[in-house]
A and B are shown apart, each in its own frame.
Chain A
Amino acid sequence: MSTMEKSPAQARSGKRPVWMERPNPLVQLAKALALGVSVLLVVIPFWSVIATSLADQKTINDSGGGMVLWPGSVSFDAYQAILSGGVVTRAVAISVGITVVGTALSLAATAGLAYWLSRRGAFGARPMLMLVLGAILFSPGLIPSYLMVKQLGLLDSWWSLILPVMVNAFNVVVMRAFFQGLPRELFDSAAVEGASSATTLVKIVLPLSKAVLAVVGLFYAVGYWNAFFNAMLYIQSTDKWPMSLVLRTYVVNQTTIGGEQVGAGAEAMPPQLPLQMAILVVALVPILVVYPFLQRHFAKGVMTGAVKG
């Protein structure tokens, strides 16, 4: 067997190819150290946020009043306090609502538009494609966007967090590329059978596009859940705040979390720091939950857009 045939297999199995010289142990050490430090810089903050949210007053005092790496005796008081009614509970409900409704609308609108643009020679598809590509290139600017939302009467409405970001041009391009990659014969035979374009979309295209729908949907969902700037710009009443504004007020700006902010379920008020960290964890958890699904597909999704866009 020649080495050339062997080397890719070896690379996959993790062995050094035959032609490569024995690595310098010092270089190896430096590389391992650099990667190890990078990973720790990501992991430690997460770990300590979670640990602190579970810590009791005594552990925090022992650590000098700051963040801890080990919660000592684990207590869920902070979570119980913020999730049993009050500001945070309401914000979680609002953010979940916006994320669910927004993602559903986004997916429907994006898939519909992408399907139209993916059919070669369809009426108006070319000029519309130009508009979509143009929307990737430039954004209208802060104040004109604000005035548009105001003009439509969406200020201080949750719709202002959905409609302006409902269709992302890049996602349209990614989905269109995917639809165009489906075998042409499917469409021809559907047409021969007399299926309308809506039937073809629902019965044939969408079931075959679950992967791209999942990726694009998850990207939209993460975007809605994280939305901060539009919320700051458009939502004025505190009782309509989504999670990001609660986070800014109580965690970033460290406004004291008092009895009125938490539910009646808490008998004794947990210390501020675990409360703040629990809010942070609640904002993080949905991302951490969808992340493994997202991660499985996104590299592919990103590259589809890059190559075919």
Chain B
Amino acid sequence: MAMIVDNRPTTGGTAAVPRASRRFQRLRQDKLLVALGVPGATALILFQYLPLLGNIIAFQDYEPYLGIAEAPFVGLQNFSFLWDGNPAFLTAVANTLILTVVQTIFVFPVPLLLALLLNSLAGERLKRLLQSILYLPHFLSWVIVVAIFQQMLGNAGMLNTFLVQNDLPMIEIIGVPELFKALLTSQVIWKDAGWGTIIFLAALAQINQEQYEASAVDGANGRQRLWHITLPSLKGIIILLLILRLGDSLSVGFEQIILQQGPVGAEASEVLDTWVYNYGIVGGDWGMATAAGLVKSVVGVLIVIGANKLAHMFGEQGVYQK
């Protein structure tokens, strides 16, 4: 439209003045449009971007009653947990990494398997019904999921009541530190495995059915079709999801863990996020906790960039293009 013509770069030394005035003219022309967007934009800047400035207290000896302006700068002192072998921090790092590895190995394949199973179902209506049931837990809050797990697997829960009534030994699951990571992992599977199938089912629906037909004519059996057609077609989406997963690898189930931390203790359950919460907001060590949060975000972004580079090296698209 007319605007495109106006956007041609102007030549000559007087360019700055007309460009500024044209901007102003455009703002006047679009003022109502901009006004419609301003409330949303304000909320986003206020709660997503301005708090980034608050990270400055990672370099301060911050006390809530003094405020950011008054607090003295202390250099990198708050980051000392990184090199002085702070045992609570090391426990949190270890638990976070173990959980990330365990959950990537055990959680990640489940939606893929479920999607393949659902996809092989012949009946469209049955498939829809099963999908509706399997998606449901995704919409429950962690409070509800944790409560349900307690009622099912707890010492007074359904499983153990059944075992005791049939003179079988009780199985203690909830509140046992050794089983805590397994419990967390199974909760994540229960809540989100069904939901995770959506993206795989969409990718499966895009595979050209004639490929299957042609390969069957050439004598490929079901397993060969899965291996040579289905899985290669899903490769891109699997890599994309793995990269996104890696980016989140330092955030493992904050709400989920904070709700269940009490009975099992910090040794088994403290992860980076809960450590920041417990030492910063509960414990009052604001500077150190903010520093830890900052390190965590930066490392998370670096991991995504690194993983994306890796994906490019293998000739995959990844999350963003080079």
Q: Do A and B bind each other?
A: yes
**Is B77 engaged at the interface, CB distance under 8 Å to the other chain?**
no
In the bound complex, do residue A115 and residue B136 qualify as a contact, i.e. CB atoms below 8 Å apart?
Answer: no
In the assembled complex, B39 has its CB within 8 A of some CB on chain A: yes
Instruction: Check B27 against A123 for contact (C-beta < 8 Å).
Output: yes
**Interface membership of B41, Cβ < 8 A:** yes
Task: Say which residue of B161, B202, B293 sits within 8 Å of A303 (CB atoms).
Answer: B202
Q: Is B142 interfacial (CB 8 A cutoff)? A: yes
Q: At the interface, yes or no: B239 with Cβ under 8 Å from chain A?
A: no
Q: Which residues of B contact A138 (CB under 8 A)?
A: 297, 300-301
Contact B213 A49 (CB under 8 A): no
With A19-B212, A131-B44 as known contacts, state yes or no: A123 contacts B139, CB within 8 Å: no
Report the separation of the CA atoms of residues A147 and B46 in the bound assembly, to the nearest whole angstrom: 12
CA distance A16 to B237 in the complex (A): 27
**Best-buried of B27, B134, B136 by chain A (most CB within 10 Å):** B136
The complex places the Cα of A12 from the Cα of B118 at a distance, in Å, of 14
Q: Does any Cβ of B come within 8 Å of A1's Cβ?
A: no
The size class of the interface chain A forms with chain B is 35 or more
A58 within 8 A of B: no
Given the known inter-chain contacts A42-B137, A147-B54, A284-B140, please indicate yes or no for A142 contacting B277, CB distance below 8 A: yes
Q: Say how far B251's CB is from chain A's closest CB, in angstroms.
A: 9
- Decide: B30 and A197 in contact? CB cutoff 8 A: yes
Per-residue CB contact flags for chain A residues 216-258 toward chain B (1 = under 8 Å, else 0) read: 0000001001111100110000000000100110011100000
Interface residues of A in 130-170 (CB under 8 A from B): 131-132, 134-135, 137-148, 150, 152, 163-167, 169
Known: A64-B164, A122-B34. A131 touches B134 (CB 8 A): no
User: How many A-B contacts are there with CB distance less than 8 Å?
Assistant: 277
Name the interface residues of B38-55: CB closer than 8 Å to any CB of A.
38-41, 43-55
A264 at the interface (CB under 8 A from B): no
User: Which of A21, A41, A116, A277 interacts with B190 by CB under 8 Å?
Assistant: A41
Residue A103 lies at the interface, judged by CB distance under 8 Å to chain B: no
B11 at the interface (CB under 8 A from A): no
Does A67 lie within 8 Å of B134, measured CB to CB?
Answer: no
Residue on A nearest B149 in the bound complex, by CB: A45
Indicate if A269 sits at the interface (CB-CB under 8 A).
Answer: no
Q: Find out whether the CB atom of A143 lies under 8 angstroms from the CB atom of B120.
A: no
B157: chain A residues within 8 A (beta carbon)? 66-67
Q: How far, in angstroms, from A66 to B156 measured CA to CA in the complex?
A: 6
Q: Write out the residue numbers on chain A whose beta carbons fall within 8 Å of the beta carbon of B158.
A: 48, 66-67
Distance (whole angstroms) from the CB of A279 to the closest CB of chain B: 9
For window 184-220 of B, CB contacts with A under 8 Å fall at 190, 193-194, 198-199, 202, 209-210, 212-213, 216-217
Interface string of B258-275 (1 = CB under 8 A from A): 111010000000000100
Pairwise interchain contact B37-A115, C-beta atoms closer than 8 A? yes
Q: CB distance B161 to A64 under 8 Å?
A: yes
Q: What's the Cα separation between A268 and B83 when bound, in Å?
A: 60
With a cutoff of 8 Å between Cβ atoms, the chain B residues found around residue A16 in the complex are: 122
With both chains docked as a complex, state the minimum distance between the C-beta of A209 and any C-beta of chain B, in angstroms.
Answer: 14
Q: In the complex the two chains form, what is the Cα distance from A141 to B212 in whole Å?
A: 48
With a cutoff of 8 Å between Cβ atoms, the chain A residues found around residue B276 in the complex are 141-143
Contact for A144 among B46, B52, B136, B221, CB less than 8 A: B52
Does A141 contact B213, Cβ atoms closer than 8 Å? no
Size of B's binding interface in residues, CB under 8 A: 102
Q: Does B144 contact A (CB under 8 A)?
A: yes
Among B1-49, those with CB < 8 Å from A are 1, 3-4, 23, 26-27, 29-30, 32-34, 36-41, 43-49
- Is B79 an interface residue, CB under 8 A from the partner? no
- For residue B80, CB closer than 8 A to chain A, the reply is no
Which residues 264-296 of A have a CB within 8 angstroms of B?
276-277, 280, 283-284, 287, 291-292, 294-295
Provide the residues of chain A in CB contact with B34, threshold 8 Å.
116, 122-124
Is there contact, CB below 8 Å, between B160 and A66? yes
- The answer to whether A43 has its CB under 8 Å from any CB of chain B is yes
CA distance A152 to B51 in the complex (A): 11
Contact A31 B151 (CB under 8 A): no
Neighbouring B residues of A121 by C-beta, 8 Å: 1, 3-4
Q: Which of A48, A65, A148 contacts B51 (CB 8 A)?
A: A148
Chain B nearest CB, measured from A66 CB (Å): 3
In this assembly, does B84 line the interface, its C-beta being within 8 Å of a C-beta of chain A? Answer: no
Q: How far is the CA of A251 from the CA of B141 in the complex (A)?
A: 13
Complex Cα spacing A48 to B149, Å: 12
A252–B281 contact, CB under 8 A?
Answer: no
| B290 on interface, CB distance cutoff 8 Å | yes
Contact A201/B51 with A135-B44, A147-B57, A226-B140 known, Cβ cut-off 8 Å:
no
Q: List 26 A-B contacts (CB under 8 A).
A: A7-B213, A8-B209, A16-B122, A21-B221, A35-B117, A41-B190, A42-B190, A42-B194, A45-B151, A67-B161, A113-B39, A123-B26, A123-B33, A138-B301, A143-B57, A144-B52, A144-B57, A172-B44, A198-B32, A225-B141, A232-B258, A248-B259, A252-B150, A291-B132, A291-B136, A292-B132
User: A42-B134, A113-B39 given. 4 additional CB < 8 A pairs?
Assistant: A52-B151, A143-B54, A144-B57, A291-B139
